[in-house]
Amino acid sequence: MILKNFRKAFSKQLSVLYPKTEIDTFFFILVEEYLDLQRIDTVLKPEFLITTNKLALLNTALKRLQNEEPIQYILGKTEFYGLPLKVDKNTLIPRPETEELVELILKEVNKSKPLQILDIGTGTGCIAISLAKNLPLANISAIEISDKALAIAKQNALLNNVAINFLQRDILKAEKLPQNFDIIVSNPPYVRELEKETIKNNVLQNEPYLALFVEDNNPLIFYDKIGNLAKQSLSKNGILYFEINEYLGKEMIDLLDFKGFRQVQLKKDLFGKDRILKALIE
């Protein structure tokens, strides 16, 4: 099959599920991945002949897209803060708002100081790895409950040539953290069950449920626990950073105020949503 004919069939079969701009993005990503063609090539080489083997790969990807599987899982990789990461169905796909969390930390920390940093609920390792890559003097640890997610995080650390102390822990059962830290950061599960109807199928049916959702009657369960542990283990003037549910900003401020944190600050993401919380401990 030639390229222009495949593109026509590709667009037609996905048109009932995705907008045209997203279909085009999928197409360009896949032809670059499997055919080593750039976007301009799709215009300059419409008669490009796709071999049988490559066509099989493209059709498999097409079927998975028809099943509303995320393109990142189909490729087995993504990019976060300019770094390559492996992903699979055992890990959440890192989001742009989490990049904003990393950006804030890097903007505020003293890069010349050998900081002790902990990432709780590391998933792919995206936060820990991005910080390690940009803070060469820091000693970074990362906690994750899922052994399968942890395996991916370790692969990603190797892929990006950074050293991270990975620990498998159920943070809700932890009585204390392994040491004191200057910075504790976490992007824990925070989507309430009642918000399911707002979640797209490609996320709801594919990404790990336990890494996304919390019960409606206790949506701050992870923040409450991590806040308690942070109070015990943050160094003097230590900082706690959270990514949070956009609808629970006030509740988060009240929670940390009650625990005795100071200078609790709520920050909006690029979309104007309450997304990042920062708090200090004396």
Q: Dump pLDDT digits (tens) for 231-260.
A: 999 999 999 999 999 999 999 999 999 999
**Model pLDDT, residue 230:** 96
| Torsion sign across C-alpha atoms 109, 111, 116, 117 | positive
Q: Tell me how many degrees the CA angle 73-78-83 measures, rounded to the nearest 5.
A: 155
Q: Where are the domains of the chain?
A: 3-67, 78-280
Residues 172-196 have pLDDT tens digits of: 999 999 999 999 999 998 888 888 7
Superfamily holding 78-280:
Vaccinia Virus protein VP39 (3.40.50.150)
> Is the entire prediction scored with pTM above 0.75?
yes
> Cβ neighbours of residue 216 under 8 Å, at least 6 residues apart?
192, 193, 194
Q: Along the 282 residues of the chain, how does pLDDT read in single tens digits?
A: 999 999 999 999 999 999 999 999 999 999 999 999 999 999 889 999 999 999 999 999 999 999 999 999 999 999 999 999 999 999 999 999 999 999 999 999 988 889 999 999 999 999 999 999 999 999 999 999 999 999 999 999 999 999 999 999 999 999 999 999 999 999 998 888 888 778 888 888 888 878 888 888 899 999 999 999 999 999 999 999 999 999 999 999 999 999 999 999 999 999 999 999 999 987
- The residue assigned the tokens 């809700």 is 172
Task: Enter the tokens of residue 223.
Answer: 């923040």
